[in-house]
Structure 1
Amino acid sequence: MTVVRAAVVQAAPVGFDLAATLDKAEALLAEAASAGAQLVLFPEAFVSCYPRGLTFGTVVGNRTPEGRDDFRRYWDSSVDVPGPAVDRLAAMARRHGVYLVIGVIERDIGTLYCTVLFFASDGTYLGKHRKLMPTAAERLVWGYGDGSTMPVFDTPFGKLGAVICWENYMPLMRMAMYAKGIQIYCAPTADQRDSWLASMRHIACEGRCFVLSCNQFARRGDYPEDYACGVDDPQAILNRGGSAIISPLGEVLAGPNYEGECILTADLDLDEIARGKFDFDVVGHYARPDVFQLIVNERPNPAVVVQHAVTVEAGPAPNPAPAKVVAHAQHASVGNRD
């Protein structure tokens, strides 16, 4: 029997402040580890904020200088992958001996991505998932991921992966993750609606996997004073949480919590997955591939592909001067860099 103690951290970052947010993340990670957690999940866009309520000075056809500066500030507080913030997160995971899954805003040249980073308990950076489909106005500030960053990682306690927020409403993406054998399905989110819990319970039953759903609990005071979200009261709740942990048969093991910042924990018995798949395996004995099939494109899709001429020495030639053969190699020079 394999049992792992999982924790979901429901908290707010320090908006637009990368260093302070990393400090808070470490304190929360230490608290979760002291409660015996071996796997810790943080919310979507925890480093360094989910920009709820911001317009970035935009209406159709017009952008304001103030909105451009909001984006500049957001970009300044985002994360290079690899980079110093990733190194710090890796060191945290190693220091506290936990597997860490955390939502960040990743920057790649001039584009921001809503990304989840994965770290092993020895501090190894395992990889990332970039959100495939930003929702509504998120598309103004976040780019689109591609199929090359949809990993499921083998860990000592099972197969681990993540699907971000409303990606969870994309049934084909869920199917792709089930086909990878995901057992611990992380769902960092910004959705605070009551209906979200029903979706998480459905996914747990559908995939016969444990679902860890993690949202921020954020007040207006967690953001800078000049944060132009239309709310002035520092105690006003901008995101009320609702984090939860669900079993493979849809049982709520912890949460949902709508009261404030908290750390929820649950012991996950991986044998429950096999018990659940006894009567339902959506990519196995309960599938009909003769009727329905899914094709998944996991190739990187960069904006620029650079072709290089490579000079290769040919074999022996009849004349003294060696012949030269020119071949072409190509590589992606932009995008999807780990």
Structure 2
Amino acid sequence: MPDPGAHGFLPERPPVRTMTGTWTRLTELAAAAATAPDPDTARDLVARAGRDGDLTELRQRVSRLSLRNADAASVRVAVIAAACGWSALDPLAPASPRTADTAFLDLWSAVAHRVDHQFVGLSTLALLNWAPERKPRRHVPIDQLARAEALVPVVRWSPPEQPLGRLDRLMLATTRLEAHGIWLFRLAGTLAGRAPGDASTGTALRRLIRIQHALRAQLRGEAAELRAAPGSARQGAVLAALAAQGALEPPVFLAADAVLGTGGRRAGEVSRHQLRRHLPTAHRAWLTAMERHCAPVRTLAHRGGPEAAVYREAQESLIALRRTYAGLVRCAAGLGENDRIPVRPCGRDDRPSAAHWSGHVHAVSLR
């Protein structure tokens, strides 16, 4: 199992920026679908690629991809699925062929088998969809690269002749959040197995609070740039669909949640399993193990004394961090400060608009 303490849930190496050979067709299709004016236009592009045999040819080549290139293909497939309004589909489910292009579903299924996870979520759309604007002169750790370098998306949701839009900015902000959150993963390992009375538990929790405050400051720094970027109802609808299926939780928040917990979830909120289903198998296993190993720390919620107070402060700082991120999501979707993200799953062919969002009163795990 990979050690998230090394680089969080970022890839071990920068994502593949340019796919070669026949796979350039997938890159071109993803770019065209992402910038299409509406889901119907994006679906027509996919249908045309299916009729031309491009998707079948790609499916036949999936087994030849290296794991790194399979991740690159998964990003492009995820972008296409989200652009077409298919992000809630399971490509292996029997009902899926009735609602999406069959050739595309076959390609999606083959790629999903290759990378071993169902990947239409923020963890793929953000963490595998970035590149440094300029090539680094020397090798640097992946988290340092993502923190220090100017980043650009591999597949843009904005037309190439226009500035990056709010959805692109949100995805890049999420990547930088993960890079800045590397110490949270390392502290999670420190807290694993610690007893509530261990002298180092309180120290580690105080450090965790400082990290969460720093992450919140990082997000606040991203807010002005995000507000200044152009937005669109089309990109807001993509965010709405991801939010409705619980696919907008940054992985670094899931790691903090595995350590601290957040209490009982309110009625209508998506489950912890649903929040994690878009992650690779190894990452889901790590979160489950961390949740189990940190169970003694969470017993502080029912105790008194200084350590219990620090634990509750750590929980509160996580809630505040999630609220700050939710503010960025609302901004990217063109929503007001009091508008909330819906939790009711959209139907397979639903295409929620910004107006759809404003009628809901709950937030998706971003409390």
Q: When the two structures are superposed, what TM-score results if normalisation uses the length of structure 2? A: 0.28
Please identify the structure whose Cα radius of gyration is greater: 1
Does 1 or 2 have the higher relative contact order (CA < 8 Å, sep 6+)?
A: 2
Q: When the two structures are superposed, what TM-score results if normalisation uses the length of structure 1? A: 0.30
Q: Which has the higher strand share?
A: 1
